[in-house]
C-alpha cells in the first residue's frame, strides 16, 4: 500500500475533480502492474495497472488507495467491473470511497464476484494523499493549504513591503515542489502588486506542473493568465480545483483563517529578525487564548538549508466549514 500511495502522489494536483489514486498489482510476490490516475482524471489507476499486467492480473492482489469505482462514465469503465473481469483474487484498499456513486458498492460488487476484500490499510496516509477530493466531497470547497515564509519574529515583509527573499534557496525550492502538488495557487492583490509573482514551478522536470493562478481582488482587473475571485468563498465555484495553496499576503491569509478554511499550514521560518515589518497574519476574531489551543497538530519538522520547515494539520474541521 505504501508503494501504491507513492504512485498516487504522481497525480496529485492534476486529477481534479477525480481523486489521485495509486494501484499496485502483485502476483506470486512480484509486482505485475502499477498505475496512478492520469492528468484530467482518466484513465483510473486500476485501469492503468491492469492494462500493464495483462494476463498476469489473474489471481493477483490489487493494492489500491481508494475503493474501486462502481460507476461507469463515457470516459471509461467502472474499475470494480474491470477487476472482476480480469479475475484478480484479492483487493486491498486504503479507504472507502465517499462518492455516493460508489460508497461501498465497489466493494460489494467485488465481494459478489467472490473476490476477497480488505480495507482500512494506511487509511490516514490515504486521507492525506486525497485530501483535495475528500474535502470537496465533505465540505463543498477545496482543501486549503496556507504557506507562510516568515522571520523568527513572524514577519513576512519589511515595512517597506520588501520580502524577496526571507528564506533561502532550499526552502524556496521546496515551496515550488508544494506548488506542483496543488491544483491552484491564490494570492491577494497586495501581493500581486508588490511582488508580481509568477507562481510557477522552477524545478527540473516539473516545469509543466505550474498550477492555475487565482487572484483575490474585488477591484479587478484580471491579469492575463490569471483567474480572479472577488470574494474568497468564490473559490468553491472554480471547477476542477480541489486543492488550493494560499501564498499570501497577510490580508488574504487572514481572510481564510477567519473563515476557518485553512486545513494545512506550511511554515518556512528563516533565522532572521525583522522587527516592525508586516505580520504574517492580522487578527482573525479570536476571543480567548483557549480558542487558539489544540487547533493545530505538528506533522513534520525539518531544516531546509538554514530555515526551519514545519507542517501543521488542523485537528478537526467544523461541520459548516
Ligand atoms: N513572506 C511571505 O510568505 C509573503 C507571501 C506573500 C506576500 N508577502 C508580502 O505581503 C505583502 C502583501 O500583503 P497584504 O496583506 O498587503 O496584501 P494581500 O493579502 O496580498 O492582498 C490584499 C488584497 O486582497 C484582496 N481581497 C479580496 N477579498 C479579500 C478578503 N476577503 N480579505 C482580504 N483581502 C481581500 C483585496 O484587494 P482588493 O482591494 O482589490 O479587493 C486586498 O486589498 C507584500 O509586502 C508581500 O511582499 C509575503
Nearest ligand 1 atom to the CA of 231 is: 28
- Interval 187-205 mean pLDDT: 92
For residue 284, what pLDDT is reported? 92
Distance 199 CA to ligand 1 centre (A): 15
- Please indicate whether residue 34, judged by its CB atom, sits closer than 6 Å to ligand 1: no
**Poorest-pLDDT segment among 14-18, 73-77, 192-196:** 73-77
**227 included as an active-site residue:** no
pLDDT at 318 over 70: no
For residue 43, what pLDDT is reported? 94
Which of 81, 34, 36, 91 has its CA nearest to residue 59?
91
- Please indicate whether residue 195, judged by its CB atom, sits closer than 6 Å to ligand 1: yes
255 to 160, 237, 242: CA distances (angstroms): 22, 17, 19
Distance 251 CA to ligand 1 centre (A): 5
Q: Which residues pair with 269 in a beta bridge?
A: 150, 308
Nearest CA to ligand 1 atom 46: 191
- Please indicate whether residue 43, judged by its CB atom, sits closer than 6 Å to ligand 1: no
Residue 76 pLDDT class (50, 70, 90 cuts): confident
Q: What is the mean pLDDT of the chain?
A: 95
- Please indicate whether residue 167, judged by its CB atom, sits closer than 6 Å to ligand 1: no
Nearest ligand 1 atom to the CA of 149 is: 3
Distance 48 CA to ligand 1 centre (A): 42
For residue 321, what pLDDT is reported? 54
Nearest CA to ligand 1 atom 17: 190
147-169 residue pLDDT tens: 999 999 999 999 999 999 999 99
How far apart are alpha carbons 73 and 162 in whole angstroms?
50
Rg, C-alpha atoms of the chain: 21
- Paired sense of beta strands 143-150 and 307-314, if any: unpaired
pTM: 0.94
pLDDT at 129 over 60: yes
How far apart are alpha carbons 114 and 109 in whole angstroms?
9
238-289 residue pLDDT tens: 999 999 999 989 999 999 999 999 999 999 999 999 999 999 999 999 999 9
Q: Which residues pair with 301 in a beta bridge?
A: 310
Q: What share of the chain is helix, strand, coil (3-state, %, to 5)?
A: 30, 25, 45
Nearest ligand 1 atom to the CA of 268 is: 3
pLDDT at 80 over 60: yes
- Supply 133's cell numbers: 477530493
CB atoms within 10 A of CB 115: 20
Distance 217 CA to ligand 1 centre (A): 9
Considering the candidates 9, 46, 125, 282, report the single residue annotated as catalytic: 46
How far apart are alpha carbons 47 and 92 in whole angstroms?
16
Instruction: Check if the beta carbon of residue 224 is closer than 8 Å to that of residue 195.
Output: no
Amino acid at each position: 500500500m505504501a508503494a501504491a500511495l507513492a504512485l498516487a502522489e504522481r497525480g496529485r494536483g492534476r486529477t481534479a475533480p477525480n481523486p489521485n489514486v495509486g494501484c499496485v498489482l502483485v502476483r506470486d510476490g512480484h509486482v505485475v502492474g502499477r498505475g496512478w490516475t492520469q492528468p484530467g482524471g482518466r484513465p483510473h489507476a486500476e485501469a492503468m495497472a491492469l492494462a500493464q499486467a495483462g494476463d498476469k492480473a489473474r489471481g493477483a492482489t490489487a493494492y489500491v488507495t481508494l475503493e474501486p469505482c462502481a460507476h461507469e462514465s463515457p470516459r471509461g469503465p467502472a474499475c470494480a467491473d474491470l477487476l472482476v473481469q480480469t479475475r484478480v483474487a484479492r483487493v486491498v484498499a486504503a479507504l472507502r470511497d465517499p462518492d455516493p456513486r460508489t460508497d461501498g458498492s465497489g466493494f460489494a460488487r467485488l465481494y459478489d464476484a467472490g473476490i476477497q476484500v480488505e480495507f482500512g490499510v494506511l487509511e490516514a496516509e490515504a486521507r492525506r494523499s486525497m485530501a483535495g477530493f475528500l474535502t470537496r466531497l465533505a465540505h463543498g470547497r477545496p482543501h486549503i493549504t496556507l504557506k507562510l515564509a516568515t522571520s523568527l519574529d513572524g514577519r513576512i515583509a519589511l515595512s517597506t513591503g520588501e520580502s524577496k527573499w526571507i528564506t533561502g534557496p532550499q526552502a524556496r525550492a521546496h515551496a515550488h515542489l508544494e506548488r506542483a502538488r496543488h491544483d491552484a495557487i491564490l494570492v491577494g492583490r497586495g501581493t500581486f502588486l508588490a511582488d508580481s509573482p509568477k507562481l510557477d514551478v522552477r524545478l527540473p522536470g516539473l516545469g509543466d506542473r505550474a498550477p492555475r493562478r487565482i487572484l483575490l481582488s474585488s477591484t479587478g482587473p484580471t491579469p492575463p493568465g490569471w483567474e480572479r475571485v472577488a470574494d474568497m468563498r468564490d473559490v468553491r465555484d472554480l471547477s476542477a480545483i480541489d486543492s488550493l495553496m494560499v501564498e499570501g499576503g497577510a490580508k488574504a491569509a487572514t481572510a481564510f483563517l477567519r473563515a476557518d478554511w485553512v486545513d494545512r499550514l506550511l511554515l518556512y521560518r528563516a533565522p532572521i529578525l525583522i522587527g516592525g515589518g508586516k505580520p504574517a497574519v492580522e487578527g482573525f476574531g479570536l476571543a480567548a487564548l483557549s480558542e487558539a489551543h489544540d487547533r493545530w497538530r505538528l506533522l513534520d519538522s525539518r531544516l531546509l538549508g538554514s530555515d526551519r520547515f514545519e507542517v501543521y494539520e488542523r485537528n478537526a474541521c467544523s461541520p459548516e466549514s
